[in-house]
Amino acid sequence: MPNYLSTINSPADLKRLSLEQLNALAREIRERIIEVTSTAGGHLASNLGVVELTIALHRVFDSPRDKIIWDVGHQSYAHKLLTGRREQFGTIRQAGGLSGFTRREESEHDFFGAGHGSTSISAALGFATARDLRGGKEHVVAVIGDGALTGGLALAALNQAGHAGRDLMVVLNDNEMSIARNVGALSAYLSSLRSAVEPHVRRARAETARLLSRWPLGDSVLEALDRFKDGLKHLVVPGMLFEELGFTYLGPIDGHNLGQLIEILESAKRLPGPLLVHVVTQKGRGYRPAERDPRRFHGTTPFSVDNGETEVSPTATFGQVLGQTLIEMAEHDPRVVAVSAAMLDGTGLAEFKRRFPDRCFDAGMAEEHAVCYAAGLAAAGLRPVVAIYSTFMQRAYDQIVHDVALQGLPVVLCLDRAGLVGDDGPTHHGAFDLSYLRHIPHLTVMAPASAGELRRMLGTALSLPGPAAIRYPRGPAPEEALSEGPAECSETNPPAVGQARVLREGTDCALLAVGPLVWAAKEAAARLAENDIQCAVVDARFIKPLDEALLERLAREVGRLVTIEENALAGGFGAAVAEFLEDRGLSDCRLARLGLPDRFVEHGERADLLAGLGLDASGITAAVRQLLFPAAGH
Q: Would you please indicate which residues are annotated as catalytic (active-site) residues?
A: 283, 367, 395
User: Which phi and psi angles does 419 have, rounded to 5°?
Assistant: 85, -155
Rounded Cα distance between 356 and 345, Å, is: 15
The three-state secondary structure class of 564 is: strand
The three-state secondary structure class of 280 is: strand
In sequence order, what are the residues at sequence separation of 6 or more whose Cβ sits closer than 8 angstroms to the Cβ of residue 596?
A: 420, 429, 431, 565, 566, 567, 568, 569, 613
The length of the chain in residues reads 634
Rounded Cα distance between 54 and 454, Å, is: 43
Rounded Cα distance between 260 and 489, Å, is: 64
Q: Do residues 401 and 440 lie in contact, with contact meaning Cβ atoms separated by under 8 Å?
A: yes
Burial class of 479 by CB neighbour count within 10 A (0 to 12, 13 to 18, 19+): exposed
In sequence order, what are the residues at sequence separation of 6 or more whose Cβ sits closer than 8 angstroms to the Cβ of residue 211?
A: none
Look at residues 526, 550, 548 and name the one whose alpha carbon lies nearest to residue 538: 550
**CA 219, chain centre distance (Å):** 49
Amino acid at 397: Y
Q: Do residues 329 and 359 lie in contact, with contact meaning Cβ atoms separated by under 8 Å?
A: no
| Residue 172 per-residue DSSP state | E
Rounded Cα distance between 66 and 142, Å, is: 11
Q: Where are the beta strands (DSSP E) in 62-156?
A: 67-70, 140-145
Q: Computed over its alpha carbons, how large is the radius of gyration of the chain?
A: 27
Q: Do residues 421 and 518 lie in contact, with contact meaning Cβ atoms separated by under 8 Å?
A: no
Burial class of 50 by CB neighbour count within 10 A (0 to 12, 13 to 18, 19+): buried
Rounded Cα distance between 103 and 26, Å, is: 23
Rounded Cα distance between 98 and 94, Å, is: 7
